[in-house]
Structure 1
Amino acid sequence: MSEPIKDARHYSLANVDAFWDAANPIVLPIAGRPECTLDIHPVNGIITLTTPFTPPEPDVAKWQNISFRVITSDQGDVAELTVMVEDNLHAAYGLVTSIADQVQLRSEPLAAAAATAIAKHRSMFAGKAALSQDKEVGLFGELLVLEYLIGEIGVGPAVESWQGPLNEEHDFVFNDVHLEIKTTSGEQRRHMMHGFTQLVPLRGVPLSLISVQLTRSNHEGGRTLSRIVSQLRAKSGGYRPRVDDALEAWGWKDEDKELYTTFWTKRTKPCAYDVDDRFPAFTLKRLIQVIPNMEFVSDLSYRVDVTQFTNQTLPGPLAGLVNPPEEAP
């Protein structure tokens, strides 16, 4: 039977390797107060530190490979801090034993102990990469449109119309109109455009730019990106796999959902603008006429302010998505 290192609080790394290679779950008590145990579970690839819970919770949402939960039992609340081992067993073991030392030997609250230990072992925990705020806002705007369409034309046609993330078409594609969704959290309808083809009508179908304005709110008046994703997945039924594919193409990751803490709501009702010959779109056809050697330009981004433009209506059941022209701000 393996024994702790003499005059030490924790098992040697050689013994930990042996536990792991045996592939059997094992619980290792750590002497001291408050009570701490390590649950080594090789099959699941995790090590869990368990100790009585005292608020606040450790802030681990922004770290990958580490999670936290509170278990309620007859003996009181128990904290479980779990580390995914992946290919670094010694680092994972070092982290959880370091947290236990901070809690037992220095009487630190678990939240503070975890923060201190993670700072020392942070090479194991690359920060999670949430979407940038611009992309968060952009995805939220497209989901608002998808939500409206599900209510108006049904889940199948709505989800199938959401083409942009998957096929590099315009964002929503219908027989009589294509929609390019642009979302901002600003007070003005200023939107960033990318590339030479984003505002080019395809196959002779009219193109409309849909301007969505968001503003920050609270949990009573708004929703986080994670919440609207969850709600639309629930509404998607058998079309959820397609929704998940589009979310993945956008850069959404379920493991990062805790990072989206901003509550958003619509600042105004969306407006539609025809992308016609009068719209200031930088297209390759236009640019090649005025810029020498345009073929050597590989990318382009520019911002268009449509605040003072005259907004338009949309055909059929899409009309309710946007402000009618007479109500334009």
Structure 2
Amino acid sequence: MRSSGRRFIALIAAVMSALLILTISPTAALADEGDWYDTLPTNVVTNDTPAAGTYNNGARIIVYRNNERLYYVINAGAAVEIPGGARTTAAPTLAMWNDIPVVFHVGTNDRLYYALYINGNWGSWLALPGSVLTRSTPSLTAFNNHAFLLVTFRGTNNHIYTGWMDTSLVWHGGGEIPGATTENSPAVGVYNGAEFLAMHRGTNSRLYVSFGYLRPDGTLFWNNWFEIPGGGISQSRPVATSYGNGMIDVAVRAYDGSIWWQQYSPRSGWFVNWQPVRGGEVSPSAPFLWTYLGIQAVLYIRGLPSGIFGKTLSDNNR
């Protein structure tokens, strides 16, 4: 067993002795990870999890929060505040929707707002219906050939809700994914075009998943929740990204600030165990996963004290 795994297990045992802990395989590895690298100049300050994505054949956009304001960076350019006066105390999130970056944030009134970045310009902040309320970062994934956008979020009652937006920006409320209670944001991924995995951290710090899909009548169906294999425990919300031939990578932050990850393949199911991300970086916030050009999973974290660091994770061979 790796020494980092032993330190992690010892810490969890001290903090949460009533819970089972991660089992680390000494030989198995999910993929050949890249090295950690700085993603932005060292003078960039973020108070929370960053978000990122690529559009327009590889242009990279990063969004992040500094105090209550939201900023964005294109490629290696300067950080600029997203216009429109948005204020939030939660991390923003980002998805590529028909190759258009769309950013969501939680307003100080608990409503969800979004803005699209089209041809180098930001649109106005638009609100989802008043019944969509949350106090934490939502999770996004584009589906049906990136034509629709699935939004999953934690309600103010700590239950998990979802809905989707069509190409006309019309909101279709999907209701509750029943059977879950969480104090953190959920995560969502897509495979086979319009089949979903929703994930959440339970009140026992374990990670759970529900499979769902969009019915022909536009409503959403979800199966019962079950624990993600491997015995994973998290201190923060899970995150997920979809890439390649339906692969979905999932990452969490452990109690010592280290990042662990797991992988789902529609061909072979879940990997045997959660794996520690190599390199020794830790984070005070949840990680973020995104996809580079649809073929490579990339991990971003808020480093210590406040920089943004990244590395590649993907393995598209299972």
TM-score by length of 1: 0.20
TM-score by length of 2: 0.21
Q: Larger Cα Rg: Structure 1 or Structure 2?
A: 1
Larger helix percent = 1
Asked which structure has the greater RCO (Cα within 8 Å, sep 6+), the reply is 2
Larger strand percent = 2
